[in-house]
Structure 1
Amino acid sequence: MTAVTDVAPDPAATPPSSVKLVNLPNALTVLRLAMVPVFAVLLLHDGGLDDSDRYWAALVFVLAIITDRYDGMIARRTGQVTEFGKLADPIADKALIGTALVGLSVLGLLPWWVTVVILVREVGVTVLRFWVIRHGVIAASRGGKAKTVVQSLAIGLYIVPLTGLPATGRWWIMAAALALTVLTGLDYVYRALTLRRTSARAMRAAAARRAAGPSGASGARTDTAA
Structure 2
Amino acid sequence: MTENTPAADDAPSNWNIPNALTTLRIVMVPFFGWALLYDGGDSVTARVIAWAIFFVAMVTDKIDGDIARARGLVTDFGKIADPIADKAITGMAFIGLSIVGDIWWWVTIVVLVREWSVTLLRLSVLKRVVIPAAQIGKWKTTVQALALGLLVLPLRQVSGGLADVGEVIFYLAQALLAVAVALTLWSGYDFFREVWRQRDDLREPAAD
Q: How does 1:1-226 map onto structure 2 within 5 Å?
A: 16-18=8-10, 19-162=12-155, 163-197=166-200, 199=201
Question: Displacement of 1:91 after TM fit?
Answer: 1.1
What is the CA distance between 1:86 and its match in structure 2?
1.3
- 1:15–1:81 Cα contact (<8 Å) kept: no
Distance in 2 separating the partners of 1:15 and 1:164? 58
The structural deviation recorded for 1:164 is 2.2
| 1:35 Cα offset (Å) | 1.0
The whole-number CA distance in structure 2 between the counterparts of 1:188 and 1:119 is 15
For the pair shown, which has the larger CA radius of gyration, 1 or 2? 1
State the percentage of identical aligned residues: 46
Rounded to whole Å, the distance in 2 between the matches of 1:88 and 1:133 is 13
Unmatched segments (≥5 aa) in structure 1? 1-13, 204-226
Deviations, residues 48-105 of structure 1 (Å, cap 9, x unaligned): 1111110111011010011111212211221112221111111111110111110000
- Partner Cα distance (2:127, 2:202) in 1: 11
Counterparts of 2:7 and 2:78, CA distance in 1:
11
Take 1:69 and 1:195, find their aligned partners in 2: how far apart are those partners?
28
Distance 2:202 2:102 in 1: 46
Residue type at the aligned position of 1:194: R
Ranges in structure 2 where 5+ consecutive residues have no aligned partner:
1-5, 156-165
User: Alpha-carbon deviations, 1:104-161, whole Å to 9, x = none?
Assistant: 0011111001100110110110122134323321111110000000000000111012
- Structure 1 counterpart of 2:162: none
Give 2:163's aligned residue: none
Query: Could you list the runs of 4 or more consecutive aligned residues of structure 1 that deviate by over 4 angstroms after TM superposition?
Result: none
Deviation at 1:200, TM superposition (A): 6.3
Contact 1:154 1:170 in 2 (8 A): yes
* 3-state SS, counterpart of residue 133 of structure 1: coil
Match for 2:40: what amino acid?
A: G
The aligned amino acid for 1:183 is W
**C-alpha distance in structure 1 between counterparts of 2:202 and 2:195, whole Å:** 12
RMSD: 1.8
Distance in structure 1 (CA, Å) of the matches to 2:94 and 2:9:
38
In 2: Cα distance, 1:102 partner to 1:126 partner? 18
8 A contact 1:135–1:195 mirrored in 2? no
Structure 1 position 32, deviation (Å) = 0.7
For 1:26, the aligned partner's letter is N
TM-score, with length taken from structure 1 = 0.78
- Aligned partners of 1:57 and 1:140: how far apart in 2? 28
The verdict on how the C-alpha distance between 1:200 and 1:146 changes in structure 2, with shifts beyond 3 A counting, is closer
Whichever residue aligns with residue 145 of structure 2, its letter is: S
